[in-house]
Structure 1
Amino acid sequence: MKSIKTILAAILFLISFISHAQPNAGGAKFKVTGKVIEKSTNLPLEYSTITLKSTTNPNSVFGGITNNKGEFSIDVASGNYNIVIEFISFQPNEINNKSITQNTNLGTIILDEGAKQLDEVIIRAEKTTVEIKLDKKVYNVGNDLMVKGGTVSDILDNIPSVSVDVEGNVSLRGNENVKILIDGRPSNAISVTDALRLIPADAIDKVEVITNPSARYDAEGGGGILNIILKKGKNQGLNGTLIANTGYPENHGLSGTLNFKGEEFNLFTTQGYSYRNSPGNSFTNSRYLNDDNSTRDYMYENRENERLNKSYNGNFGFDWFLSKSLTWTNTLNYRKSSGNNIDDVFQDYYDVDFIYDYTRNRVNEEDSKSENIEFSTNFTKKFKKDGHKLTVDGSFSSNTDNNIALITDSTNNSAIVATDNTLNNQEQSRNLIQADYVLPIGKNTQFEAGYLGNFIRNITDYSVIRNGIPFPQFTNTLEYKEKVNALYTQFGTKFNKLSMLYGLRWEDSNIDVNQLATNDFNNKKYNNFFPSAFFTYEISETSDVSLSYSKRIQRPRGRQLNPFNNLSSNVNIFIGNPDLDPAFTDAFDLGFLKKWSKITFNTSMYFNITNDSFQFVRRPNGDFQDGIPVIISTPINLAKEYRTGFEFTLNYSPYKWWKLNSNFNFFYNETDGDFSYIDNNGDEIIQNFDNKATSWFARLTSKINLPYKIDWQTNMTYNGSQRTAQGKNLGVFAMNLAFSKDVFKEKATISLNVSDLLNSRKRISETYLPGQVDSYGEFQWRERQITLSFTYRFNVKKNEREKPRNGNGGDDGGDFQG
């Protein structure tokens, strides 16, 4: 690792030097040119560094980097120089005491991968590395063994501070109010959770974790933002990757990336097909209560799920280098999937003495189809000054989801009680226009400004036909329209060791929620300012402390708003609330970073105050099914929610062959508010939702390099228990295991991973409603999964060598580093 530190230090020195060094006054100037290539493939090495140090004057230093052809041209004063040509993971090439008295061509310079250095870099590239910036953390996914053959959801569940529950819901530091972006833009899918399960993990380059977003970003997401950046071609010439996987339960897939980069164009495509079966199960044991909380009777519900999904995911795009400073990027994405979900529910009924009465069987057979198409375009104009640029983005998409289900309801004497046909069709269109301008001012100051227009229209057509007769209680067409226009500006500067970033964002929202079947039209208009501020103080070269603030918004959407939604169970029914208001959050964060030779420690304390936060309540609706009260679950706005906590991430490398990464998060959550409703007797029932709860989760990842170039990775997580206003969620432990080995001279990799080794990844909950129900339930969305994958690379090394290109979603030029 010492050699890598030396190279990195040299590169940082060069960057600083190139920006500020002055040539010898009055001396003759000559051009030093050449080309750098890789020995094993003869491919050009873009971004190689060339350093020329005078043998007589240590202050006379010149330098430069290679272009995409591996070529360089450096203006140098006359004299004698020691020349060093370097690239990370390659042995440097040195030319000593070279006399420069005229224009000089050094010819083709070949760099070779040294065995010791290469081993170190491969170890580094194989783990998920992190780059810490002023307002975000960037996790380079690399070749994480845990996600081979998986999806984006699997990647997110391996990122520190991020967790994915058994239903696929994503939370950041325990907060589910997270905004998901893909390549810097909102996901165009109707269901973000479903979209994350469709995109293969191998299509992902890196994930940006933004716990406290600045004004540059969309103000939505009270818990923060996750920006998922897809892979795009970087290497010169023709290169690509082919990945095949198989597993049990059925998990078969074939995907590939292909890229061709020339002088004026860069063409890239990703294509993939998957066939997945995700069996799951759940049970809920309920004891129904009288008004005095004595037992009335029991109902035990057991559920088995078989979810089969076939999906295609593909894109095609090109970068057109109109000039050295202007790039035009166009990408067409297309996703299509079809699924079959069989939900087999058994309800066993018992009397007050727990003597068995009868069994009801509900079978829900659902067929679903989804199709999504998106066209995105980007112009990036770079000006002469480093970091000065203008980007203009457009994204236009349409998405359709069609779900048809047949629900049969029978008792254990095989007599059909009821047959329900449900139809749930959704159509969504989204148009997004965005412009961002970045202007560096001097050495340590930067100004930013931009505009975002986000326009959404979603129509949900839901209907139920029971025994051939329309069921109006569950039949409706919901139209949702959202128009958001936003302006922002930011100013960042640095004084000595203090970096500051101030921002202000203004968003104008115009929301329509229309229930067409009942002619109930709701319009909500509001505009708000969203300030942000970030401060970072560099205590030393190895440690710094930061303080940040931002204001956020969480708009209700989808099933949260639709009052006609779900009938998979006849006694536990979820309905949306079309009158939900947005929730606003004030977020504060205090962070500390410290680096040692083998340890990196990053910790933060955070505090959020949310007004009108969303909470889910359960209440009887007055209906009964065979004497069992129907329980409705619905979201409401409560008065306030307070969330505070602290987390830390610790990276430790005790040995060259062993790396540990741990993440711990502890948080305290307090809600303050009351909910009232009128029961079937006409009485007002008031539920007090004042609640104080603590919870925590921990993740530990270990990676060991075994003999014969076999890598072994273990991932363990524990989600602590948490009290809710109406019960408790119990703690859950889970473990993943993975092995990999390189073959064919590191051009290919074989990986075996086991997701949920102990088959323990479940949601376990207790619910208690006085005078109504006392229940215990366990829900497992996906059972243990075993996956074997094979990856083959051509004209591209296992460790991604090149600097990522700027473009959609990268945000490279707009990051103020101070």
Structure 2
Amino acid sequence: MMKKILVQMFIVSSLMLYCPVAMAQQGRLTIKGTVVEESTGQPIPYATVMVGDNETKKPLEGTTTLDNGRFSLETNASDFYIEVSFLGFKTKTFGPPPTPGNTIDLGEVMLSEDAEQLQEVVVQGEVSRTEFKLDKRVFNVGKDLSTTGASALDVLNNVPSVNVNIEGRISLRGSQGVQILINGKPSIIASEEGNALGTITADMIDKVEVMTNPSAKYDAEGTSGIINIVLKKEERKGLNGSISVNTGAPDSHSVGVSLNRRTENFNLFTQLGIGLRELPNDIETRNVDLENNTTILSYGTEYRNETYYNMVLGTDYHINDNNVLTLSGNFAMEMEDQPSNTTFAALDSNDAITSEWVRTEVTDAKNPKFQYELQYKKDFENHEDHTLLFSGLGNFFGKDQSSEFLNSTISGDDNDSRQQTRTDFKEAIFTFKLDYTNPISEEWTLETGAQYVMNDVSNDYEVNNFTNGSFVNDPGLTNVFEFDQKVLGLYGTGSYEGKKWGIKGGLRLEQTDQNTFLVTTNAANDQNYSNFFPSLHTSYKISDKISFQAGYSKRIYRPRMWDLNPFFNIRNNYSVRQGNPELQPEFTDSYEITSIYILGAVSLNFGVYHRYTTDVIERITTFENNVSTFKPENIGTNKATGIEFNAKYSPAKWLTLNGDFNYNKFQRDGVFETTVFDFGNDQWSSKLMTKIKLPADFDLEMTGNYQSSYQTVQSAVSDNLFMDLGLRKNIMKGKAVLNLSVRDLFASRVDESQIAQASYEVYNRRQRGTFVALGFSYGFGKGEAMQYSGQRRR
């Protein structure tokens, strides 16, 4: 549909260019009518109506039909013909009546489908393909995805090396912490705190750029890489919109509306959503004290239920052809409820139960979220890629939460107790970015820019124990934690890109000022450091079917607030998570060589990579009185060398196979306190996606995933094999879509780990089970069907 619109816009633009600049206004006549489909009688929007000169056959006037198929245009020509056309339909031509008068009413102009044209459209650009640029791998979205009604998240799941889990969390080569950009910059739509990517449809996406080894132009934060979603530069004048309704089990229901109104200078857009969802987690934990031969076993179901509201409002103001100003904002509110029950049992050396009790949690929370964005873009007239871009993004998240925990004895020792916790959390992040790109020639390009990120966090956490008939504050678990971080980045890159060969080099400087402060204990930890992040990339194109790429970059992972916050989480008071305010950042040197082969219906990608990381952050478990405490620590270095293989094969028009394979062997070296953590191990993952076009315009998609077991400095993580299934049907000529999706079809996806030490053992198991969702989406005006699933959990 988008291709048809772009073609019609091109035709109309050409008509306007050929039309005379000034025409006499006297003697003008009006031509009007309605264009409809011959087979259904439905109106055809955006059809082209042209008035041409009978002698020269050159266009004189032109317009396109409205949403209802109607058109009206004026001309002062006397010897002319009228031509009505639309891509995929046979063209109709009319001559002027013998006595035209002041108005020519063509009435209903019925166009019939042109089978030859339709066949050409389907063949052209049908399959999504991958190609190399200097520092990125570009996934061009073809007709196989753009006509399915899929969301941006579905598109990303089709990109080699990229995976999207059930919550919409995106990983690259199996690692999270991926930066998501829209048109090369941070955006409300790409925020980690929302699922607004679900409201972008595949037909709106031009390409997806994957940078596993980003250049110095991009933020050095994050070791996994960057994914940049490039939207099409189309203009849909008039009112466009979509509405989406979703339901699922466990309970997950939502309604989303997207509206867009475009005029000559303004583009107004909004997204509204409301919904509720339920996310149960079956958990099991076993803490074994090998010295005293005692065990604490806990199992149950943790719930997190939410009712949420979401609103996005924004506008693009086209000051002129070369200057655009964008202002947008997002507000969301989540109302949380966590009715969870966990059963605890104390076991002796013979695994006999000595006491048993139930821990009940009642949690209520309100989570307001605000985001706003200001962007200014200037396009210089001498070159389409000569641009100046400024953007400012503000992000606020709050949590006002209260919890009460009640322990009730079932048998054995008296374990009755009550605890209350209160959390007042506030986080504000401001990102300012300035980028300047100057293609000084067809081959040479210079880029420079700056970025400033401010992160301000306050977490007021309080624990009270019920003692002697009243709640008494626990000072050991109560404190106010403040986190403040400012990062200033400056960069410059230069690149040469010829027809066959190219090279790009750059350098980025980032200065970090990080401060943490525990108010109650007056404990402060300040870190201030500056680092250079060089990058170098080159590519060589042997032919249109074979290309190679090599690159190097230096990356950083700065500890997040939750890595640093030392407060205990007492949801399970025998399995405690704790932060470390003295944590240092990780640094990674990343090298890779990749290749791409296009062999008819098969596209292959093969790569070799090596990553060297210092001050690796690992979660270390300490054990005392059957309580396991997890705390992040910097432990030594990690050297990982791996291979990556991606293949896409379409043996028939109705069948597409897409496979990913990633293997790496790593060597961990480090010492924590008196323990040496030196070991080598490997891990691998694979994904096979099968897409089948069924009769009656049904699409079936099956995705199998396997993640191997692997080892950390203390634990062994079990492997995972699971399958997702999706069924989609386009109805109402593609304006509406029905979707059925099943995540973890066989309920086989289980997170399981085992820690085996000389004096203790800790076993953890967590499972979410099967999720089933059914959705309906309808696009009206010039809108397309979309998917909406609300805000992602935090």
Alignment partners' CA distance in 2, 1:693 and 1:67:
66
Alignment partners' CA distance in 2, 1:458 and 1:177:
19
Task: Report deviation, 1:131.
Answer: 6.2
Of residues 756, 760, 764 in structure 2, which corresponds to 1:777?
A: 764
Task: Report deviation, 1:222.
Answer: 1.6
TM-score (norm: length of structure 1): 0.79
State the partner residue of 1:403: 401
Task: Report deviation, 1:351.
Answer: 1.0
Q: CA 1:38–1:644 in structure 2 vs 1: closer, same or farther (change >3 Å)?
A: farther
Contact 1:203 1:230 in 2 (8 A): no
RMSD: 4.0
TM-score (norm: length of structure 2): 0.81
Alignment partners' CA distance in 2, 1:177 and 1:747:
35
Whether 2:316 is the aligned partner of 1:316: answer no
Moved more, 381-390 or 224-233: 224-233
Alignment partners' CA distance in 2, 1:251 and 1:166:
12
Q: How many residues align?
A: 711
The residue identity in structure 2 corresponding to 1:527 is S
Alignment partners' CA distance in 1, 2:300 and 2:703:
29
Q: Counterparts in 2 of 1:615-694, with a 5 A limit?
A: 615-620=618-623, 622=624, 624=625, 629-676=626-673, 686-694=674-682
Alignment partners' CA distance in 1, 2:142 and 2:696:
21
The residue identity in structure 1 corresponding to 2:295 is Y
Contact 1:721 1:730 in 2 (8 A): yes
Whether 2:177 is the aligned partner of 1:174: answer no
Q: CA 1:692–1:93 in structure 2 vs 1: closer, same or farther (change >3 Å)?
A: farther
Of residues 577, 580, 596 in structure 2, which corresponds to 1:577?
A: 580
Whether 2:736 is the aligned partner of 1:748: answer yes
Whether 2:777 is the aligned partner of 1:791: answer yes
State the partner residue of 1:135: 135
Q: CA 1:571–1:317 in structure 2 vs 1: closer, same or farther (change >3 Å)?
A: same
Alignment partners' CA distance in 2, 1:501 and 1:738:
41
Alignment partners' CA distance in 2, 1:182 and 1:371:
24
Alignment partners' CA distance in 2, 1:710 and 1:164:
23
Residues 330-350 of structure 1: CA deviation (Å, up to 9, x unaligned): 111112111112232112222
Alignment partners' CA distance in 2, 1:212 and 1:110:
54
Identity %: 30
Task: Report deviation, 1:537.
Answer: 0.2
Contact 1:372 1:398 in 2 (8 A): yes
Task: Report deviation, 1:424.
Answer: 2.0
Task: Report deviation, 1:481.
Answer: 0.7
Whether 2:262 is the aligned partner of 1:265: answer no
Alignment partners' CA distance in 1, 2:380 and 2:231:
26
Contact 2:188 2:373 in 1 (8 A): no
Alignment partners' CA distance in 2, 1:121 and 1:765:
51
Task: Report deviation, 1:31.
Answer: 6.6
Of residues 538, 545, 550 in structure 2, which corresponds to 1:547?
A: 550
State the partner residue of 1:681: none
Contact 2:88 2:115 in 1 (8 A): no
Contact 2:493 2:505 in 1 (8 A): yes
Secondary structure, counterpart of 1:472 in structure 2:
coil
Of residues 362, 366, 369 in structure 2, which corresponds to 1:365?
A: 362
Task: Report deviation, 1:313.
Answer: 2.0
Q: CA 1:140–1:571 in structure 2 vs 1: closer, same or farther (change >3 Å)?
A: farther
Q: CA 1:452–1:489 in structure 2 vs 1: closer, same or farther (change >3 Å)?
A: same
Of residues 386, 389, 405 in structure 2, which corresponds to 1:388?
A: 386
Task: Report deviation, 1:119.
Answer: 7.3
The residue identity in structure 2 corresponding to 1:331 is S
Q: CA 1:115–1:237 in structure 2 vs 1: closer, same or farther (change >3 Å)?
A: farther
Q: CA 1:369–1:94 in structure 2 vs 1: closer, same or farther (change >3 Å)?
A: same
Of residues 690, 701, 706 in structure 2, which corresponds to 1:718?
A: 706
Whether 2:488 is the aligned partner of 1:488: answer no
Residues 607-642 of structure 1: CA deviation (Å, up to 9, x unaligned): 11111111111112x4x3xxxx32211001112111
Q: CA 1:462–1:759 in structure 2 vs 1: closer, same or farther (change >3 Å)?
A: same
The unaligned stretches of length 5 or more in structure 2 are 21-33, 38-42, 49-61, 67-83, 94-105, 787-794
Q: Counterparts in 2 of 1:13-412, with a 5 A limit?
A: 32-33=18-19, 43-44=45-46, 90=88, 114-115=114-115, 118=118, 132-137=132-137, 159-163=159-163, 170-181=170-181, 195-196=193-194, 198-199=195-196, 201-203=198-200, 208-227=209-228, 234-290=235-291, 296-386=293-383, 387-412=385-410
State the partner residue of 2:455: 456
Task: Report deviation, 1:246.
Answer: 0.9
Task: Report deviation, 1:596.
Answer: 2.0
Alignment partners' CA distance in 2, 1:692 and 1:795:
59
State the partner residue of 1:808: none
Q: CA 1:731–1:164 in structure 2 vs 1: closer, same or farther (change >3 Å)?
A: farther
Secondary structure, counterpart of 2:285 in structure 1:
strand
State the partner residue of 2:724: 736
Q: CA 1:229–1:384 in structure 2 vs 1: closer, same or farther (change >3 Å)?
A: closer
Alignment partners' CA distance in 1, 2:529 and 2:35:
58
Contact 1:280 1:305 in 2 (8 A): yes
Secondary structure, counterpart of 2:338 in structure 1:
strand
Secondary structure, counterpart of 2:293 in structure 1:
strand
Alignment partners' CA distance in 2, 1:750 and 1:764:
35
State the partner residue of 2:444: 445
Task: Report deviation, 1:352.
Answer: 0.6
Task: Report deviation, 1:132.
Answer: 4.8
Task: Report deviation, 1:281.
Answer: 0.5
Secondary structure, counterpart of 2:566 in structure 1:
coil
Task: Report deviation, 1:225.
Answer: 2.3
Secondary structure, counterpart of 2:594 in structure 1:
strand
State the partner residue of 2:40: none
Alignment partners' CA distance in 2, 1:265 and 1:43:
21
